[in-house]
Amino acid sequence: MKRILLTLMVAVAGLSVMAPDTYAQSNARADKRQKEMDAWHQDMAKFRARLDKDRQLNALADSLAGVQADAALRNQDFVLEANNVTFRNGMTTFVNSSTNFISVKGNRAVVQISPSNFASGPNGVGGVTVDGMISGTKVTTNKKGGTTLSFNVMGIGINAQVEIYMYPGSNSASATVYPNFNSNTVWLQGNIVPYENSNVIEGSSL
């Protein structure tokens, strides 16, 4: 009996020695997890702050680009650099903005559609280039701040109505070209930039 009691006393003593160590280890793990969570929250806060700053900078850049584009549009001194073109059959093609555009410089307009990057086409850059003189220019602004420029353009290879709509707050725009001699209407989507800032490549006109 004494031996059993002695064994129990030793076991209890051992547990009493181990308990503080186990408690300390548990606290250490909890502290480590808390530090990791605190570090994660700090990293996320920094990420959100950077993201908000980037959004503000992007919004400011869009606003400045929109102001420049609006002035260029009204002064008839701009290029709509298209990144996609939609044809009458509904097919939309993503295109190179340097070879697909509508440019206006004073009373002269150029419409160039070059959807092919492989064939040279009549203009030498994969499509067709037509230019002519502008008449009947009209600029309107809707209640949401969107600006529309419409005009007629007539030349050797073109006789069409052109309508360009620039979305409010940015330089994003869409354009519709209505040929007067057929129903091959074409739509362009892209960005408006001042004429002197454009890097388009103009092919040989018809």
pLDDT per position as a tens digit, 77-94: 999 999 999 998 889 999
Token couple for 192 = 């408006």
What was the pLDDT predicted at 54? 62
The answer to whether residue 178 scores a pLDDT higher than 70 is yes
Average pLDDT, the chain: 84
User: What is the rounded average pLDDT of the residues 166-182?
Assistant: 93
- Per residue in 179-206, pLDDT (tens digit) is 987 878 999 999 999 999 999 999 888 7
Q: Which pLDDT does position 59 carry in this prediction?
A: 58
Could you give the domains of the chain?
69-197 (2.40.128.410)
Q: Which long-range contacts (CB under 8 A, 24 or more apart) does 67-70 make?
A: 68/171, 68/193, 68/194, 69/166, 69/170, 69/171, 69/173, 69/191, 69/192, 69/193, 69/194, 70/147, 70/166
Specify the higher pLDDT residue, 30 or 105. Answer: 105
User: Which is higher by pLDDT, 131 or 41?
Assistant: 131
Cβ atoms 204, 122 nearer than 8 A:
yes
Maximum mean pLDDT: which of 62-66, 146-150, 201-205: 146-150
Q: 9 versus 27: which is more confidently predicted?
A: 27
